[in-house]
Amino acid sequence: MTYVRNAWYVAAWAEEIVAERPTAVHVLNEPIVIWRNAAGEVAAFEDRCIHRLAPLSLGRCEGKRLRCMYHGLLYDGEGRVVEIPGQDRVPNHLRVRVYPAIERHRWLWVWMGDVEAADEALIPPVTGFDNSDYLLFTGQLDYAAEARLVNDNLLDLSHVSFLHAESFRMGEIWARERPKVVERERSVCIDRWIRSEGNGGALDTQERVDTYFWHEHFVPGILQMIVRLYPVGTAASLNGRQPDLSQVVDNFAIEAVTPLTDKSTRYFYLMGMNRRTYDEAARDANMSTVRRGFQEDKVMIEAQQRNIDTSPDRRFKVTPADQGALVFQQIIEKIARQEPTHNSATRSSGSRSGVE
Amino acid sequence: MTYVRNAWYVAAWAEEIVAERPTAVHVLNEPIVIWRNAAGEVAAFEDRCIHRLAPLSLGRCEGKRLRCMYHGLLYDGEGRVVEIPGQDRVPNHLRVRVYPAIERHRWLWVWMGDVEAADEALIPPVTGFDNSDYLLFTGQLDYAAEARLVNDNLLDLSHVSFLHAESFRMGEIWARERPKVVERERSVCIDRWIRSEGNGGALDTQERVDTYFWHEHFVPGILQMIVRLYPVGTAASLNGRQPDLSQVVDNFAIEAVTPLTDKSTRYFYLMGMNRRTYDEAARDANMSTVRRGFQEDKVMIEAQQRNIDTSPDRRFKVTPADQGALVFQQIIEKIARQEPTHNSATRSSGSRSGVE
Amino acid sequence: MTYVRNAWYVAAWAEEIVAERPTAVHVLNEPIVIWRNAAGEVAAFEDRCIHRLAPLSLGRCEGKRLRCMYHGLLYDGEGRVVEIPGQDRVPNHLRVRVYPAIERHRWLWVWMGDVEAADEALIPPVTGFDNSDYLLFTGQLDYAAEARLVNDNLLDLSHVSFLHAESFRMGEIWARERPKVVERERSVCIDRWIRSEGNGGALDTQERVDTYFWHEHFVPGILQMIVRLYPVGTAASLNGRQPDLSQVVDNFAIEAVTPLTDKSTRYFYLMGMNRRTYDEAARDANMSTVRRGFQEDKVMIEAQQRNIDTSPDRRFKVTPADQGALVFQQIIEKIARQEPTHNSATRSSGSRSGVE
C-alpha cells in the first residue's frame, strides 16, 4: 500500500463525536481516539496510553483533560501527561501522539503526517454540505478491501453500465463514452456528456436530456461530483466541451474514502438533489438506488480483494477506462515519494497487485 | 502439500451447474468459475478477470460468451477477450486461463495440469452412477482439513472398528483383519474378507454371511468400492482369495476427494444398493448410518488437522494398517515429481507432518 | 513470551474431570488430555496419538487404559502403547508424552517441565479451598490476551481506582497509596493499608474501618490474597506495618492464571468471606461486584492486547505502580533463563511489547 501521509483523512462524521464520549477509529492502520471535551473542542490522540498501551477511547473526560481508565494517567488537550497516580513528579516530555484534527463541513478530518506540515488549506474544496437548496442524504459503508480498490471504483465509472446494470440502469453508453481526464497537482478531474438519455426523475418533464457529469477526486480520496441536466442538443452545440459551471447544479455528491487498515476501508457519502429539479419522492427513489448500488460495489470489490489476496503477484491489465484511476495512483505515488521517512515506517509488508 | 496436477478433479455435481448461472469453486487453491451456456455447454475458467481480477463467477452469460460484470470485458467460450468496453481493438493474445472440463457420469471434472496433457482416458473407470438396478443416494461434505487426511481415512478402514463403533457396528474384526494391498500405476487396490458377520440388512435372510469388500483408490482421490455377500464358508473355500467379480455386486460406493485449498477439502459420494438384495427401508437405514459415520470422520479429521497445525514438525508413526495410505501417497509423490514446474509453482509454504 | 516450564499450572477444576470422560485443555500452547479412569485416578497426556496425531481426548477409557478412537491404539496409564490393532508386537519404546498431574485442593495441576524435576512442594501454599468458616464462590474467565497482561493486572491493583471505579468503588486512595513490594524466590508479596474507608458489607457495623490488604503472587501465576478489617486508627498505631496475620482473616481470594496459548489465558478464582464478618447477602453482593469487575478487566486487557499486536515494537513506560509487576516478571525471567532447552523450544516467534 502506498499512502500519502501529509493529507487530511475523514475519520468520522462530526456529529458522531459526542462531548465526553471518546470514540475509537482507525486510520492508516493506526488506532486513534477522537474526543470532544465538555466545551465542545475536539482532539485526536493515538489510542494507546503511553504507560501500557491501554486504549484511551475507554478513558474518561475530565474537563479539558482525558484520563486513561486503566491506571489513571491524565492527559491534557495537547497530549501531555499531567498526572500519574502514585508518582510525585511527572517528567515534562511524556506525551501521547496528537493528530491535528479539524471539524470542517460535517466531517472530522485528521492529519496523518508531519504535524508542522499540517495545513488547513489542503482540505479539499468540496462544497454543499449545508446547502438548503438541496435535498440531502448521507450514509457510510465499510469495505473489507484496500482503499485503492474503492478509489479505483469511483475513478472508473464505466463499471456503472455493468455492475449497476439493474440498479442505476444507465445503459452501456456510459462504458463506451470515454470521459476527459485532467491531472492536477493533488487531484484528477473527469468529465463527460451523456446525450439524450433519461432525466433521472427531474420535475416537470418526461423528456430526455443531455447530462453533463463532472467529478474531481482529491488526495487522499475525497471526491466531489456534480451533475447538470440540459436540453437535448446542448452537448452537440458545445461540441462536447464543458458548460458554464458557475450556474447551480442539479445534483451533487461528496464522498470520502478512508483506509482504516491495509485491508479495510470506510466510505462516507453525502448526496444533494436540487429542490428546483427534484422532489422528495425523487430523492427517496435515488437514495434507495444509490444504496442498492453501493451494495453491488461492496460485493464486487470484496471479491476482487479476495482474488488479489490469493494471487498477490498477479498484475492488472490496463484498459482505456482505467485512465482516471491510473492518473490518480500516479499522483498518490509521486506525493508519497516526497515523504520518505513516514512511508518507509508505515509501509505494509503485505503484497498487492501492481499494474502491468 | 504434494498434488498431482495432471489429473481430473471433481469440481461439482454436473446438475449443480445450471445454464447461465456461473458457479464459483476452488480446486488446489485456485478460484475457478464453472459455467454452462444457454446451449448447455460447460466450461471452466480461472475465476479472475484479466483486467482487475474481479470474479467472473459474478459475470453474465451472453449466448456462448461470458461477460465480467465489473467493467464489462467479454470472453468467448475459449477464454479469449472479444470485447473491452471503450477500447476499439482488442489484442489477440488476451485470454483468461481455461481448465479442460468434462461432464462425465454425474460429476463435472476439471483438469488442473498442462492443457496439452489433458486426457479423458485418465478419468478413473468408476461405474454405477445411473444403474437402475440399484437404490442410490448421494451427498457431499466439506472438511476443514487437508485432502490427504481424508484420503488416508478412506485408505485405512481399520478406523471403522473404533471411530464408527457406534454407527457402523462392525466390531474389532475389521481392524485386526489385514487387507491385501496391491499397487497399480495410478491407483491402489485393497480387499478383504469379513467372515461370518451380519448381512447389513439384506433381504430374505437373517443369516450371517461372508462379505467380500474391495476398493480401488485412484489418483488424485477417486474411489470405487464394492461389497458382495456370500454364504458363510465361501471365504474359507476360496482360501481368502478374490471371488469372481464379474457377477453383480450387492452394494457399491463412488467417492471423490477434492482439495479446495491446502486446508479444506470437499468430499462427494454416491452409494448404490442392489434392489435384489436390499429394499428401500434398508437403503434408508444405511443412508442414515453413513451420514452419521461421515460426521464422526469430520470431527476426528478436523481435530487431527488442528493437532498437525500446532505441531507441524511432528511425524506420523507407521502401523501395518497404514499400508494402503502409504502406497497411495508414494504413487502421488512419484507422479508429482514428474511434474516439476507446476508443483514448484503451487507448492504451499505451509508445513505439514511427514511420515517417520 | 517467557514461560517457566518447571512449574505447576492449573489446568482445570478437579471436579470437572469426570471419570471416563477425557477432557481436552491447552497449557502453554500444548494440547493436553486430562482423564480419570474408573478408579478415579487422574492422568494428563499429550493430546496427540503418536500414530497420526488424532486427539486422545476423543478416546475411550477402558479400565486403567485409554484408547485412541481413530485407529484404536491403546495406552496404559503411564502413556505406553500396549496395543496396535492389526500389529502383532508393539515395540517397547512407543509412548505418548505424560505430564505429571496432581489433584490438590480443588484444582488439577499439571507440570510442564522436566518430569524428573516435578516436585509437589512447588505447588504454591495457597489455602482456604474447603474452609467451612467461609462463604465461598468460584468462577473462571477466558481472556483473548497473553497471560502476562492478566498477571500484570493482578500485580498492580492501582487500576481498581479507575477501571473499577463504578463497580468496586474504592476511590482514588487505592491508586495513590504505594503498596510495599517484597521479592521472594518464587513469588512477590504486596501489602497495603487503606485507612478509614467503607467496610465492604461487614456485619454489625456501619462504621468505617482500616483495611489491611495482602497478596502473594507465585510463579507461574498463582495468587493468594487476604483482607483483614480493623478499627480506624489501627494502621496509624502500627505505623503502617503488617498486623498479626496469625489471626483469622475476613476475606480471601485464591486465583490462578494459566496461559492456554500465547494469546489466550484462563483465569480461575475462588473467593471466601468469613461467616463471622459477612452474611450471605454480603457474599452475593460481593460476588456480583467481582464478576462485573472481571468483565471490566476483560474488556480492557483484550483491548490492550489488540494495541500491542498492532505495535509490537512499542515499549511500556514504567510508573511506580508497576513495581510488583516488574519484580514478578524479573522472577519469571530469571527462573526461565535456568531452563534453556525448554524455553528455546517453546519460544514463540510472535512479537511482544517490552519494558523501557
Is position C273 within any domain? yes
Give the ipTM.
Answer: 0.92
How near does any CA of chain C get to the CA of B296, in Å? 10
Q: Does A178 touch chain B (CB under 8 A)?
A: yes
- CB-CB contact of B304 with B149 (8 Å): yes
Q: Which residue of chain C has the CA closest to B307?
A: C53
Q: Does B211 touch chain C (CB under 8 A)?
A: no
Predicted pLDDT of residue A348: 39
Is residue C164 located within the same domain as residue C115? Answer: no
Q: Which residue of chain A has the CA closest to B94?
A: A317
One-letter amino acid identity for C284? D
Burial B266-297 (b: 16+ CB within 10 A, else e): bbbbbbbbbeebbeeebbeebbebbeebbebb
How near does any CA of chain C get to the CA of A30, in Å? 8
Is residue A83 located within the same domain as residue A228? Answer: no
At C328 the three-state DSSP class reads helix
How near does any CA of chain B get to the CA of C92, in Å? 14
DSSP A243: -
Cell numbers that stand for A315 in this block: 498484475
Contacts within 8 Å (CB) and 24+ apart, A171-175 = A171/A197, A172/B72, A172/B85, A173/A197, A175/A321, A175/B71, A175/B72, A175/B85, A175/B86
pLDDT band at B343 (very low <50, low <70, confident <90, very high): very low
| Residues A22, A321: Cα–Cα separation, whole Å | 43
Is position A348 within any domain? no
Predicted pLDDT of residue B205: 67
Predicted pLDDT of residue B66: 98
Last residue of a domain, one of C122, C148, C173: C122
In this complex, which chains have at least 3 CB pairs below 8 Å with chain C? A, B
Query: Which positions of chain A have pLDDT values less than 70?
Result: 204-205, 340-356
* pLDDT tens by residue, C5-21: 999 999 999 999 999 99
Total domains present in chain B: 2
Is position A1 within any domain? no
- CB-CB contact of C227 with C249 (8 Å): yes
Q: Which of A112-116, A165-169, B263-267, B349-353 has the lowest mean pLDDT?
A: B349-353
| CB-nearest partner of A72 from C152, C175, C178 | C175
Q: Which residue of chain B has the CA closest to A296?
A: B70
- CB-CB contact of B268 with B137 (8 Å): no
| Residues B214, B308: Cα–Cα separation, whole Å | 30
Is residue B138 located within the same domain as residue B91? Answer: no
Total CB pairs under 8 A between chain A and C: 80
- CB-CB contact of C19 with C274 (8 Å): no
Percent of chain C with pLDDT over 90: 83
Is position C26 within any domain? yes
Interchain CB distance below 8 Å, B69 and A172: no
Strand order through the sheet with C42-46? C23-27, C30-36, C42-46, C98-99
Q: Which residue of chain C has the CA closest to B298?
A: C70
The DSSP H or E segment spanning B155 is: helix B147-155
At B157 the three-state DSSP class reads helix
For residue A352, report the phi and psi dihedrals to the nearest 5 degrees.
-150, 160
Is residue B195 located within the same domain as residue B295? Answer: yes
* pLDDT tens by residue, A20-45: 999 999 999 999 999 999 999 999 99
Predicted pLDDT of residue C178: 87
* pLDDT tens by residue, B74-129: 999 999 999 999 999 999 999 999 999 999 989 999 999 999 999 999 999 999 99
Q: Does A315 touch chain B (CB under 8 A)?
A: no
For residue B7, report the phi and psi dihedrals to the nearest 5 degrees.
-160, 160
Cβ neighbors of B203 (< 8 A, separation 6 or more) are: B276, B277, B278, B279, B282
| CB-nearest partner of A71 from C299, C307, C321 | C321
Chosen for mutation from A60, A71, A73, A348 (greatest number of chain C CBs closer than 10 Å) is: A71
Q: What are A257's strand-pairing partners? A: A267
Predicted pLDDT of residue B356: 44
Q: Does A48 touch chain C (CB under 8 A)?
A: yes
Interchain CB distance below 8 Å, C156 and A84: no
Is residue C141 located within the same domain as residue C286? Answer: yes
Is residue B138 located within the same domain as residue B112? Answer: no
Nearest to A181 by CA among A9, A12, A325, A16: A325
Predicted pLDDT of residue B245: 77
Is position A343 within any domain? no
- CB-CB contact of A53 with A308 (8 Å): no
Interchain CB distance below 8 Å, A307 and B86: no
Cell numbers that stand for B43 in this block: 466450461
In this complex, which chains have at least 3 CB pairs below 8 Å with chain A? B, C
Q: Does C315 touch chain A (CB under 8 A)?
A: no
Q: How many helices (H) and strands (E) does chain C have?
A: 6, 18
| Residues B118, A180: Cα–Cα separation, whole Å | 47
Q: Does B93 touch chain C (CB under 8 A)?
A: no
Q: Residue B353 pLDDT > 80, yes or no?
A: no
Last residue of a domain, one of A122, A156, A178: A122
Domain residues for the domain of C265 are: 134-337
Is residue C178 located within the same domain as residue C298? Answer: yes
Kindly list the residues from chain C whose CB atom is less than 8 angstroms away from the CB atom of residue A60: 162
How near does any CA of chain B get to the CA of A65, in Å? 46
One-letter amino acid identity for C194? I
Place of cell 493482578: C154
pLDDT band at B346 (very low <50, low <70, confident <90, very high): very low
Is residue C58 located within the same domain as residue C191? Answer: no
Q: Residue B197 pLDDT > 50, yes or no?
A: yes
Q: What are C258's strand-pairing partners? A: C266
Q: Residue C177 pLDDT > 90, yes or no?
A: no
Q: Residue C149 pLDDT > 80, yes or no?
A: yes
Interchain CB distance below 8 Å, C68 and B163: no
Is position C347 within any domain? no
| CB-nearest partner of B85 from A152, A165, A172 | A172
How near does any CA of chain C get to the CA of B336, in Å? 23
Interchain CB distance below 8 Å, C314 and A54: no
Instruction: Give the CATH number, domain containing residue A28.
Output: 2.102.10.10
| Residues B249, B224: Cα–Cα separation, whole Å | 12
Is residue A290 located within the same domain as residue A191? Answer: yes
Kindly list the residues from chain C whose CB atom is less than 8 angstroms away from the CB atom of residue B160: none
Is residue C41 located within the same domain as residue C94? Answer: yes
Task: Name the more confident of C222 and C200.
Answer: C222
Interchain CB distance below 8 Å, B311 and C48: yes
Task: Name the more confident of B355 and A130.
Answer: A130
Q: Which residue of chain C has the CA closest to B301?
A: C54
| Residues B308, B273: Cα–Cα separation, whole Å | 37
Q: Does A33 touch chain C (CB under 8 A)?
A: no
Is residue A29 located within the same domain as residue A142? Answer: no
Kindly list the residues from chain C whose CB atom is less than 8 angstroms away from the CB atom of residue B177: 86
Q: Does B315 touch chain C (CB under 8 A)?
A: no
Q: pTM value?
A: 0.93
Is residue B107 located within the same domain as residue B199? Answer: no
Predicted pLDDT of residue A331: 98
Cell numbers that stand for C231 in this block: 478499627
Predicted pLDDT of residue B340: 62
Total CB pairs under 8 A between chain A and B: 81
How near does any CA of chain B get to the CA of C258, in Å? 18
- CB-CB contact of C232 with C196 (8 Å): yes
Interchain CB distance below 8 Å, C71 and B159: yes
- CB-CB contact of C27 with C84 (8 Å): no
Nearest to B311 by CA among C164, C32, C158: C32
Predicted pLDDT of residue B57: 98
How near does any CA of chain A get to the CA of C313, in Å? 11
How near does any CA of chain A get to the CA of C180, in Å? 13
Q: Residue C205 pLDDT > 70, yes or no?
A: no
Mean pLDDT of chain A: 92
Q: Does C243 touch chain B (CB under 8 A)?
A: no
Instruction: Give the CATH number, domain containing residue B164.
Output: 3.90.380.10
DSSP B317: P
Interchain CB distance below 8 Å, A69 and C165: yes
| CB-nearest partner of A29 from C163, C177, C310 | C310
DSSP A227: E
